[in-house]
Amino acid sequence: MYSSKELALSVVQWAEAKKAKNPVVIDVATTSTFADYFVICHASNKIQVVAIAEHIADQAEEIYALPVYHKEGMSEGSWVLLDMNDVIVHIFDEETREFYNLERLWHDSPRVELAAEVKQ
C-alpha cells in the first residue's frame, strides 16, 4: 500500500521525466474534503501537456495498479486534470497556468518541499 503523499511525490517524478516545469505539491488535506494533495506543473506546449498526463496515468496503473478515475482536458491540452482520488494532478500549458494561478487560490495550504522529498 502507498500513502497519498508518496503518490503525489511519485507523480512529480513521472512528470519531470517528461520535462514538466515548476512542479508544486500542495497539501490540501486540511482545507478540502475531496483530496489530500494537488500536484501542479506546466509544459512548454499542449502536446507535451497531454504526453505528461498520459505518462502519469500509465505509471500510476503500472506501479500502483491505480487507475486515473477521471481525466479532463485531454483533447484541448491547455489544462489537463487527473483525478487519482487523494491526489489531483493539474498539468497546464504555461499561459493557462499563469492565468488561473491555482497556487494563489490555495495559498493557505502548506507546500511539500520537493527538493528534499523527491531526491530521496
Q: What DSSP element (H or E) covers 5?
A: helix 4-17
Closest CA to 11 of 81, 96, 99, 103: 81
> In this structure, which amino acid lies at residue 70?
H
Model confidence at 85, in pLDDT bands (50, 70, 90)?
A: very high
3-class DSSP state of 98: helix
Q: Mean pLDDT across the stretch 87-105?
A: 96
Q: Mean pLDDT across the stretch 36-54?
A: 98
In this structure, the number of other CB atoms found within 10 A of the CB of residue 29 comes to 15
Residue percentage of the chain with pLDDT more than 90: 89
Model confidence at 115, in pLDDT bands (50, 70, 90)?
A: confident
Q: Which pLDDT belongs to residue 1? A: 81
In this model, does residue 70 exceed pLDDT 60? Answer: yes
In this structure, the number of other CB atoms found within 10 A of the CB of residue 24 comes to 18
In this structure, the number of other CB atoms found within 10 A of the CB of residue 103 comes to 16
Q: Is 106 within 8 Å of 28 (Cβ atoms)?
A: yes
Q: Which residues contact 87 (CB under 8 A, 6 or more apart)?
A: 4, 7, 8, 11, 35, 36, 37, 38, 39
Q: Mean pLDDT across the stretch 98-109?
A: 94
Residue percentage of the chain with pLDDT more than 70: 96
Model confidence at 53, in pLDDT bands (50, 70, 90)?
A: very high
Q: Mean pLDDT across the stretch 86-107?
A: 96
Residue 110 vs residues 43, 92, 113: alpha-carbon distances, Å = 23, 21, 9
In this structure, the number of other CB atoms found within 10 A of the CB of residue 38 comes to 21
Q: Which pLDDT belongs to residue 117? A: 52
